Amino acid sequence: MDDWRTLLPTAYLLTGSDAGARDLLARGLAGGGGLDGLVRAHLRRRFGRDASIAGTSGDPWWLSPADVATARATAAALDDLDRPARTATVLRWHERLPAVEVARLVPGTDPDPLPDRLGIPADELPARLEGLAELTDLRDLTDGDVAEGVRAVRSRRRARVLLAVGAVAVLGAGAVWLPGALPSAPPTAAAGTDAPAAGPPRGSLAENDALVAALRGRLDPGQDDGRLVYAGDVAGRRWVLFVRMTDGAPSAYWFTGDAGADPADLLLSGASFTDGGGPAAWSMAVGTAGGTTLLVVADPGEDVEVTPGFAVAADGTASLAFTPADTEDGVAAAQLSGAVGPPALAYRLVRDGEVLATEQPVNYVSDVEGSRARPEPGAPRSGPGPVDRTAFDAAVDQAVVPTGLAGTDLAVAVLGAGQFPAPGGLSATAVTVAVTFPSGGVVTSTAWAAQETGGGRIATCGVETHPAGTDLAALTVVTRCSGYATDSSTFGATVLVVAPTGAAVRVSDDAGAAVQQPDLDAGWAYVVDGADALTVYEADGVPGEVSRAGAGPYD
């Protein structure tokens, strides 16, 4: 943790605020630390937060008004850049990294044109960024605060893993407490608002004193009674929401069941927030065999729009299409076909045409039995195999889950499979799949799995989209896979090549240097030495980019 004081100003430049910098710092340290860890966390970051390190920023009394004005102008210029460009600017002119190192950390971004985009001469940028970094407030942050923030991130990540492998509440199973760390939402156009906790209770049952008292009695004793936020029958279900404050942070307690159900028959689920804030709106989704019902309780005057997930178009682009939900007094109910849940299902809040926030349901329960439906793997087109079922499922999920569709309803081909040495001396098996969506658009996805004493490891690599009509028999996919050893002592990257048998593949960096021509085994190969520098390839003269985790269309 000793390097956090040097990383925090860089995090401030990347995010633009003290709160954002502290959140990013916790993520970066939890993911391995150092500048690499900070950048990885930032580029993979979506709207929403895992943890907030304690402390608040104050006025920069330690700088002159002139210096503050210059810093603010620099900040405004940075805000006009997208995330990769902003990251490349900070790395090149604040961290003083060479261009090749910037390209490794932020693939596909050329830093050279960025000073012109900022309107700041390149020779002035280092001083301007240093001046902006001096606004970072370190006064009320301690080693203990940082350590606690990192523990919170790691704890939330463990909760996410449990949720991903099936720890989702089943209706009728009794009282269930769901972790508040559901996967974060897609990027939003503007910052969110505080969770709506003020004002009178809403809903058709808000004045049903007997119902409210019976449900309040089911809450844990020894805390405050909680504030009734919503109670009503809508979209065929009964919904009651209480919000309690514990140590300055809110917790949501949802009761739900069939419309008209008795209090004793309603399922209790909840979510807590440890950063003193909450979501932009309270929300809950319920999945059944007949579809998914979403209820959102936002601030009055806000409209709600809903998406079931990313859509892959025929031209290979992936996008979120939001449709308006019926909203009254800030409360919206939406019904979607299929048991669509996080991370595909999302909603956004709109006021006067401006998007305020994009989030996923705070709570989600489902009575759909069994694990996520996945197809059976076929024989690989390329590589010696084997087709590891765990790696196959992970690769399919990476491509399919963000769309809200079922893998069994889509055409899934195994492009390649083979083994390579993973960090820590393990032998890993990688699988690359191609998923064809209803539009004809194709998504390729790679994942690897390794067995070790006491369990196993799974990691996803890059994901890419391709237009309809792509010839899967002739398609080459080159992907960067990375990971830490079990004890986090070693980080390693490997470039995997999946090509048609007999193809000649050449992998290099953007400058055409560091050229590697791997020996293909039935169209499959891996490159370990210098893998991090490899960003582009040619397969029989056809160029392409090395895909990598965190740079896909769903991120």
Q: Which two tokens stand for residue 355?
A: 């998007």
What residues make up the domain containing 468? 389-548
According to the model, what pLDDT value does residue 284 have? 92
Instruction: Specify the higher pLDDT residue, 260 or 246.
Output: 260
In a domain, 378, yes or no: no
Q: Which of 26-35, 190-199, 247-256 has the lowest mean pLDDT?
A: 190-199
In a domain, 486, yes or no: yes
Closest CA to 266 of 339, 223, 330, 208: 208
According to the model, what pLDDT value does residue 456 have? 66
Closest CA to 168 of 324, 33, 345: 345
Are the beta carbons of 426 and 456 closer than 8 angstroms?
Answer: no
Do 189 and 335 share a domain, yes or no?
yes
The total number of residues written for the chain in this structure: 555
In a domain, 555, yes or no: no
Residue type for position 335: Q
In a domain, 375, yes or no: no
Confidence of residue 138 (pLDDT cuts 50, 70, 90): low
DSSP, res 519:
P
Rounded average pLDDT over 492-505: 91
Do 354 and 494 share a domain, yes or no?
no
Do 212 and 331 share a domain, yes or no?
yes
Q: Which of 131, 154, 177 is the last residue of a domain?
A: 154
CB within 8 Å of 310: residues ≥ 6 apart:
318, 319, 320, 344, 402, 403, 404, 553, 554
Instruction: Specify the higher pLDDT residue, 132 or 189.
Output: 132
Do 146 and 212 share a domain, yes or no?
no
Confidence of residue 488 (pLDDT cuts 50, 70, 90): very low
Do 122 and 88 share a domain, yes or no?
yes
CA–CA distance, 36 with 166 (Å, rounded to integer): 31
In a domain, 496, yes or no: yes
- Write the secondary structure of 308-353 as one string of H (helix), E (strand) and C (coil): CCEEECCCCCEEECCEECEEECCEEEEEECCCCCCCCCEEEEEECC
341: pLDDT strictly greater than 50: yes
Do 150 and 219 share a domain, yes or no?
no
Do 437 and 339 share a domain, yes or no?
no
Are the beta carbons of 232 and 239 closer than 8 angstroms?
Answer: yes
In a domain, 372, yes or no: no
Rounded average pLDDT over 205-210: 95
53: pLDDT strictly greater than 60: no
Confidence of residue 452 (pLDDT cuts 50, 70, 90): low
421: pLDDT strictly greater than 70: yes
54: pLDDT strictly greater than 70: no
14: pLDDT strictly greater than 80: yes
Q: What is the reported pTM?
A: 0.63
CA–CA distance, 242 with 338 (Å, rounded to integer): 28
User: Across the chain, what does the average pLDDT equal?
Assistant: 80
SS3 395: helix
If one counts the domains in the chain, the total is 3
Q: Which of 140-144, 454-458, 510-514 has the lowest mean pLDDT?
A: 454-458
Which of the listed ranges 50-59, 80-89, 272-281 does the model predict with the highest average pLDDT? 80-89
Do 400 and 424 share a domain, yes or no?
yes
Digit-coded pLDDT (tens) for 505-523: 999 988 888 899 999 999 9
In a domain, 309, yes or no: yes
Do 137 and 173 share a domain, yes or no?
no
Question: What are the C-alpha distances in Å from 134 to residues 128, 460, 509?
Answer: 10, 37, 35
Do 11 and 130 share a domain, yes or no?
yes
Digit-coded pLDDT (tens) for 164-190: 332 233 333 222 232 222 223 333 333
SS3 78: helix
CA–CA distance, 240 with 267 (Å, rounded to integer): 10
- Run of H or E residues at 239: strand 237-246
C-alpha torsion 64→66→69→73, nearest 10: -130
Q: Catalogue the E-assigned strands of 55-138.
A: none
Do 172 and 40 share a domain, yes or no?
no
Do 433 and 288 share a domain, yes or no?
no
Are the beta carbons of 91 and 106 closer than 8 angstroms?
Answer: yes
Digit-coded pLDDT (tens) for 396-415: 988 998 898 888 999 999 99
Digit-coded pLDDT (tens) for 346-377: 999 999 989 988 888 888 888 765 556 789 99
Question: What are the C-alpha distances in Å from 277 to residues 144, 193, 250, 469?
Answer: 21, 9, 7, 47
In a domain, 219, yes or no: yes
Digit-coded pLDDT (tens) for 61-113: 445 666 777 887 888 888 878 888 899 999 999 988 888 888 888 887 888 88
